[in-house]
Structure 1
């Protein structure tokens, strides 16, 4: 019986990807590097640190990774604060409340930084629903490495056989699969060019899920 649901954040709870995309590409323009959309898509699910480590190597950037992270974060925060139409994804708030009020443990495992997670959770009053928040910045390797999900399971009140992950990215689904955790792939209108073949179940909308349906997953 499922007792713990591990949520990704970007693309699952809130779609901050357009804000991240804007901040990254503004930064790429400042750095005078040409990053194709196809290459950028392969970084989805990676932490900012891992993304810039790869970019530094690919484009032979002379800048320190920490400086690159800080500049991108500044661009993101400026854009985030100005984006008045940023909303929770359709149906996810109802699902979170349904799971929480029925005693399901909720854990966040996001590649986003702690600062970004806190900004989102504070803006939408989500802190009270989640027992633990795990940020990808605490791990040397990003999704598709399973470390973040393995750690999330270690914080859960049950074994991994009684946990599920909800993910929207190829890297996140691979990570969940590598960790041996049942994965629900959220194939929304925002999930562009992502591979859901390794997901155990795929949904297009959160109205396909509720406490009873999740609890009975085998």
Structure 2
């Protein structure tokens, strides 16, 4: 029986990907570097710090990683605050409320920065539903490294065998499985080119998930 649900954020709860893409490419232009679409797709699920460490090494960028992260964050914050049509993904609020009403513990484990997580929580009033908010910026390696999900599971009131992760990215699914946690892959139209084949269950819409259905999963004996 599942008692704790660990949510990714970008592409699962809210589609901030267009805002991130806008911010990244504005910054890439400013830095004078080219990032092909396939390479950009590989960044999905990785922290901003990890992405800029990769770009710094590849392009021999003079600025340090922290400066690069802060510069990109300025582009993102401005676009986030000015984007009027930014909304939760269809069906996810109902699922969150359903899980909460069934006394299931919800934990957020996102590669996003703490400031971005806080922005999303405030804008959509989601804070009261989550017992813990875990940011990828607190870990030296990004998904597919399992550290963020191992930490999230350690915060659960239930054992790891009674946790599930909801993820939309190849890196996120790999991280959840490496952490030994049952993973529901969300096949989001907002996260293209992602391989979810290693997930234990794949859904295309949150209407396919209910609190009772998730609780009835038996991750430990799959």
Instruction: Give how far 1:62 is off.
Output: 1.0
- Specify the SS of the correspondent of 1:93: helix
Equivalent in the alignment of 2:25: 25
Identify unmatched segments of 5+ residues in structure 1: none
1:120 corresponds to 2:120: yes
Equivalent in the alignment of 1:3: 3
- After TM superposition, the structure 1 = structure 2 runs for residues 1-218 of structure 1, keeping only pairs within 5 Å, are 1-218=1-218
Misfit runs of 4+, over 3 Å:
none
Q: Deviations over 1:60-95 (max 9, x none)?
A: 111111110000000000000110000000000000
Instruction: Give how far 1:140 is off.
Output: 0.4
Q: TM-score, normalised by structure 2?
A: 0.98
Instruction: Give how far 1:188 is off.
Output: 1.8
**What is the alpha-carbon distance in structure 1 between the residues aligned to residue 160 and residue 87 of structure 2?**
31
**What is the alpha-carbon distance in structure 1 between the residues aligned to residue 102 and residue 28 of structure 2?**
45
Q: TM-score, normalised by structure 1?
A: 0.99
**What is the alpha-carbon distance in structure 1 between the residues aligned to residue 41 and residue 131 of structure 2?**
31
Identify unmatched segments of 5+ residues in structure 2: none
Root-mean-square deviation (CA, aligned residues, Å) is 0.5
